[in-house]
Amino acid sequence: MTSPETSVADALLVIRRELDTLVDRVLTESAAGAAPNPLEAVADLIASADRVFVVGAGRSGLALRMTAMRLMHLGLDVHVVGEVTTPAITAGDVLLTASGSGTTGAIVRAAETAAGAEARIAVITTVSDSPLAALATAVVVVPAAEKRDRSGAASAQYAGSLFEQIVVLLGDALFHALWKRSGASADDLWPRHANLE
């Protein structure tokens, strides 16, 4: 079965429309949702954390690694779960997670461990009543397709692509908000950029 050719420009327009729509929905639903706004609640958790741990699998995990890097640029003590230098999580720490389904075994187990250690948990997911969301201190529900949804109803893109893209955008938005709150200049952050490249 063949399909009509799609140019890269056409594909970019599809992605742009989906992202624009999803950002509007996340903002609208967050503003109308539980108080405090879940996006602000996640920012507050990160800002008040002794240390921030990030965990995700696959492309969601890669998106969170990008967020970890930016939080490190702010001067936060940040760890990527699974790296050999990651210490034990404890009370006062925050675990930032992303899982479209909210059922990814390793992510749920990490959140259970964090909860057992009395750390706070921030979750980005598509499923508000998932096992991962049930463990959360703050939940951002993203109305996107999760990776097993191949219906095309929530997104024309493959699998969880739209969710993973919004995880990148939410991470950058969290960084930007926390950076502006900090009062630090871009020059203040620059010395933390990698120099062993």
Verify cis geometry, omega within 30 degrees of 0, for the bond prior to 38.
no
* 89 in Cβ contact with 119 (< 8 Å): yes
Residue 5 among the catalytic residues:
no
- Nearest Cα residue to 142 out of 60, 22, 5, 15: 22
Phi and psi at 75, nearest 5°, equal: 100, 10
- Residues 23-43 as b/e (b if ≥16 CB within 10 A, e otherwise) read eeebeeebeebeeebbbebbb
What residue type is assigned to position 152 of the chain?
G
Looking at 40, 112, 118, 164, which residue is catalytic? 164
Which tokens go with 26? 């996340």
Q: How many whole angstroms separate alpha carbon 8 and alpha carbon 5?
A: 10
Measured between alpha carbons, how far is 33 from 48 in angstroms, rounded to an integer?
22
| DSSP-assigned beta bridge partners for residue 52 | 78, 94
Catalytic positions: 164
